[in-house]
Amino acid sequence: MAVMEVKKICVIGAGNMGHQISLAAALVGYKVKCTDINKEILQKAEQFCDDYLPNRVAKGKLTKEEAKAARGRVTFTNRLEEAAKEADLVIEAAIEKLDIKRKIFADLDRICPDHAILATNSSYIVSSNIADVTSRPEKVCNMHFFNPALVMKLVEVVNGAHVSQETVDTVVGVCKKMGKIPVVLKKEVYGFLVNRIVTAIKSEALYLHDMGIATPEDIDNAVIHALGHPMGPFRLMDLTGIDLTYHVSTERFQETGLKKYTPSPTVVEKYVKKEWGRKTGRGFYDYSN
């Protein structure tokens, strides 16, 4: 399937990543259906769209006509079949748990048209761990956006051994139409490009904090003002979600059995307390105000 044949996109998951990916696609002309099993999350996603677009108009970034047209191209539903049955491309942005993703992709393979590409926005799980539950492994790939998806330009596209070149070319083309900068990995590797680098920094930062050597604030300041990063590792975890950090570590430990992948004690404590960062109002920093 060529990129010009992609007209309708389904996004699975209406959380921080899903609703922004949906809106980013709608803004460039795609018809988008975003779905989630949680009605409250769907309502929040729809409210985000209703607030974001007028704000862009007020700032002179969009005309009223452009905003109205974009809003008309994105819809929200809690019915997977309704969202996916006519999709040319599906972008799954559900929780970072392999068993859940495999169930979703098995359902998508049954629901979606034969030509549809099924992409996962997973930040760590390679698509070869998912593709075998479908009858179209050549059309299953990683399409990893970065948070916040409306702002961040980079998208990682992974060309696994099971993925066809046509699928890669189509996904790259969709990224470019969305105004993103796609980078193609020639083979699968856990964590892809960016997260392998970020994880190394994050792991060391958590170790330094767990050992009582420095506070999150001081570690973030060191990374920002000495290394030139725009954001420190603790602020970044608060932004992407400490629950995500916990699930990724847990999945990796269960997969490998290696002790080095067990979640940091601080991350476990934050996860249990539901102090997951910006989304809950408190993480390593306080966002209640």
Domain-by-domain residue ranges, the chain?
3-185, 196-280
Catalytic residue among 123, 127, 142, 249: 123
pLDDT digits (tens, 9 = 90+) for 96-111: 899 999 999 999 999 9
Helix, strand or coil for residue 188? coil
Catalytic residue among 127, 195, 249, 264: 195
List the structure tokens of 68: 């109205």
For 119, counting Cβ atoms within 10 Å of its Cβ (0-12 exposed, 13-18 middle, 19+ buried), the class is: buried
CA angle at 207 for the pair 125 and 190, rounded to the nearest 5°: 15
Catalytic residue among 22, 92, 142, 144: 144
Sheet containing strand 181-185, strands side by side:
74-77, 31-35, 8-12, 89-92, 117-120, 140-145, 154-158, 181-185
Q: What per-residue confidence (pLDDT) applies to 4?
A: 84
Quick check: is 123 catalytic? Answer: yes
Quick check: is 156 catalytic? Answer: yes
**CATH number of the domain located at residue range(s) 3-185 in this protein:** 3.40.50.720
User: How far apart are the C-alpha atoms of 36 and 83, rounded to whole Å?
Assistant: 10
Please compute, for residue 214, the number of CA atoms within 13 A of its CA located in the half-sphere on the CB side: 14
**Element housing 205 (H / E):** helix 194-210
Residue 35 near residue 107, CB atoms below 8 Å: no
How, if at all, do strands 8-12 and 31-35 pair? parallel
Q: What per-residue confidence (pLDDT) applies to 22?
A: 98
The ranges of the chain with pLDDT < 50 are: none
List the structure tokens of 188: 């699968």
Q: What per-residue confidence (pLDDT) applies to 124?
A: 87
Catalytic residue among 96, 156, 188, 275: 156
CATH fold of 196-280, please?
N-(1-d-carboxylethyl)-l-norvaline Dehydrogenase; domain 2 (1.10.1040)
Q: What per-residue confidence (pLDDT) applies to 289?
A: 81
pTM, full prediction: 0.84
Q: Cβ atoms within 10 A of the Cβ of 110, count?
A: 11
